């Protein structure tokens, strides 16, 4: 029955069906099978058609088979397409600096890797629970951070273009700028979760204050010195 149905399928219907099969296989991460299985089925259908198959369509089948072999087989693709293209484009691209290379190699991946794979594991995302705050971190959030929030008047800060002097003093005294720096170097030694909670809470009162605290703990030089600086620089 299946053979009879296959024999009566129009060429205009066969190719879309095979393309749909390829897309389904690609979605499930089966890159090679996405090329190989449709072409195998296509050749089987061609064989079953016999003399009924027109020459033009046979030419399309052969062309499709060549493309499959060219793009599905990694060694062949690299030798005939990737390699020549890289040689052609390499002189055009700017060279990566040592700083850029270090920055790229220093990073880590998390669920964002799942996202860029094109088929993220949503169950893994939903099961993720942030780590709990330590007693010290919770005390800071409920103590100094709460006190700083009471000191902030966002309208006044915006009008004056700066934080009040008592706010600056509070931030300095309570070491907000070193939340992610170990206590051995004068910081608070907080986790990324605690840092995020503090910035989030401050944001509810003043964007200026939250950004003031956030930048030294993210874009500032302290963490870079912690990873790449000399001991003298770290102590300083």
Average pLDDT over residues 65-80: 78
Q: Is the pLDDT of residue 54 over 60?
A: no
Give the model confidence (pLDDT) of 4-42 as tens digits: 444 455 555 666 776 777 677 666 666 666 666 666 666
**Listed residue (29, 57, 24) closest to 43, CA to CA:** 57
pTM of the entire structure? 0.55
Q: Is 95 helix (H, G, I), strand (E, B) or coil?
A: coil
State the pLDDT at residue 212.
94
Give the model confidence (pLDDT) of 166-200 as tens digits: 999 999 999 999 999 999 988 999 999 999 999 99
State the pLDDT at residue 199.
96
Comparing 23 with 163, the larger pLDDT belongs to 163
**Domains within the chain, CATH numbers bracketed:** 2-89 (no CATH), 98-127 (no CATH), 135-235 (1.10.540.10)
On whether the CB atoms of residues 179 and 217 are closer than 8 A, the answer is: yes
Give the model confidence (pLDDT) of 205-227 as tens digits: 999 999 999 998 988 788 888 88
Q: How many CB atoms lie within 10 A of CB 132?
A: 10
DSSP codes, 88-152: HHTTTSPPPPHHHHHHHHH---SHHHHHHTTS--HHHHHH--PPPPPHHHHHHHHTHHHHHHHH-
Give the model confidence (pLDDT) of 106-161 as tens digits: 777 888 888 887 778 888 888 888 889 999 999 999 999 999 999 999 999 999 99
Whole-number Å distance between alpha carbons of 136 and 202? 18
Average pLDDT over residues 77-82: 85
**H/E stretch holding 173:** helix 165-173
């Amino acid at each position: 029955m299946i053979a009879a149905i296959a024999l009566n399928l129009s060429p205009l219907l066969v190719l879309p069906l095979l393309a749909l099969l390829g897309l389904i296989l690609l979605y499930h991460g089966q890159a090679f099978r996405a090329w190989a299985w449709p072409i195998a089925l296509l050749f089987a259908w061609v064989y079953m058609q016999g003399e009924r198959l027109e020459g033009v369509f046979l030419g399309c089948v052969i062309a499709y088979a060549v493309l499959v072999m060219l793009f599905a087989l990694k060694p062949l693709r690299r030798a005939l397409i990737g390699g020549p293209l890289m040689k052609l484009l390499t002189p055009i691209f700017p060279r990566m600096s040592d700083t850029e290379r270090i920055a790229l190699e220093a990073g880590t991946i998390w669920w964002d890797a799942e996202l860029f794979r094109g088929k993220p594991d949503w169950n893994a995302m939903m099961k993720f629970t942030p780590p709990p705050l330590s007693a010290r971190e919770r005390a800071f959030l409920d103590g100094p951070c709460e006190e700083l929030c009471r000191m902030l008047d966002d309208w006044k800060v915006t009008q004056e273009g700066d934080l009040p002097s008592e706010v600056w003093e509070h931030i300095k005294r309570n070491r907000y700028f070193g939340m992610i720096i170990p206590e051995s170097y004068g910081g608070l030694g907080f986790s990324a979760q605690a840092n995020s909670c503090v910035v989030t809470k401050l944001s509810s009162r003043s964007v200026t204050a939250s950004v003031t605290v956030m930048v030294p703990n993210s874009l500032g030089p302290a963490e870079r010195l912690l990873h790449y600086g000399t001991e003298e620089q770290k102590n300083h």
